[in-house]
Amino acid sequence: MKLLFAFPEPLPLPRARGVQVAWMAEALCAAGVDVTLASVPSPDGHPLQPIGKPLPARLRLRPTSNRWPFPFGRWHSVSRFARQLVRQLDAARPDAIFVRHVKLAYQLLRLRPDIPLIYEAHEVFAANAPAAKRERLAHQEAFVLNHAAGIVPISGAVQAALHRDYAYSSNEIVLHSATELPAAPATKDWADCARRIVYAGSFFSWKGVDDLVDAAAELPGCRITLIGGEASEIERLQGRIAPGGAEVVLLPRMSPAEAMAHLQTACIAVLPNRAEGVSHFTSPLKLFEYMGAGCAVVAADIASVREVLGDEEGRWFPPGSPKALAAAIRELTENPEAARACGAAAARRARAFTWQGRAEALRDFIASLLKA
């Protein structure tokens, strides 16, 4: 199978979407798929650098500009990327195209409807768009859902929301995010779990990092490490730390390998998302990394997270409540054996969510569409 994986942004990209693309490109190649990865050229290295993997023999890179010609070189767009890519399709001769950007999927379906396109849906984009753009984006989203050969929602919550807002009957498969399992079991000091609490991810407000910092005020004697902030975000949160509560350590964004090293020694990992924005649809990479590292998970009670995590793997709290979050963390820190059991259950659960398994499921789904 020859698959064109189109991503209209520069790669490598250390943010979650760039990391997911890197893992999927690598895993698809390992699953026997010949992948052409089309992305915007970047001077920062090759697309798989954020995950520390070499370029597989089955992977071909196709740099594709998203910028307009002189004198408009400062302007860039998904439309320009799509038109540049279409010019190269006859040479690439893919069996199918895989896209996670709804605007790019719309452009490619209109320009080359003869090539089967599989759309990976991460949210209902029109629902969260500004009012001025909502109607146009809803039109594009509806077109993609009705004309794509297959739809890949990243959670059941995304799938349900798409069917709530649109009428379509394309073939579908729900594929959550995933993780790479550590080569060796993590070594953790569960007796000291109160000092080994971690959050790894972006510091956006809907991620709930403010709630976690506020919850720290209720947890004297604990130590909470937050990884992934920009300098301005770290400075802002420093001013929010209450004296007398938990020790709060704020660290900048780091490579997936460095973040995983922290998770390997952490005992309790926190997913404090608020019930707003894309949280309703989320299938966050960090959740699966937490599980793969064998951490007990304290998570906001959100439907898309409930699809993955059960009561055996951690503790729940109502999203947006720092006091309830603190109570859920305290329940585990006061019972290290319960925390250890949750971590072991999470590690077992993670085996169902590997990048290799996800890539094989996607390969088989695409093969079934091509056969049909």
Whole-angstrom Cα distance, residue 157 to residue 161? 6
Candidates 187, 266, 274, 288; CA nearest to 222 is 266
Q: How many CB atoms lie within 10 A of CB 329?
A: 29
Query: Which pLDDT value is given to residue 73?
Result: 55
Query: Which pLDDT value is given to residue 71?
Result: 57
User: What's this model's pTM, rounded to 2 decimal places?
Assistant: 0.93
| Domain boundaries 2-178+354-371, corresponding CATH code | 3.40.50.2000
Angle between helices 256-265 and 285-292 (to 10 degrees): 50
Six-digit token pair at 22?
């890197």
The yes or no reply on domain 190-350 and CATH 3.40.50.2000 is yes
Enumerate the domain spans of the chain: 2-178+354-371, 190-350
Candidates 69, 45, 27, 101; CA nearest to 356 is 27
278-304 per-residue burial string, b: 16 or more CB within 10 A, e: under 16: bbbbbbbbbbbbbbbbbbbbbbbbbeb
pLDDT < 70: residue spans in the chain? 68-74, 76
Query: Which pLDDT value is given to residue 129?
Result: 86
The backbone region for 52, taken as left when phi is positive above 0, alpha when psi lies in -120 to 50, beta otherwise, is left
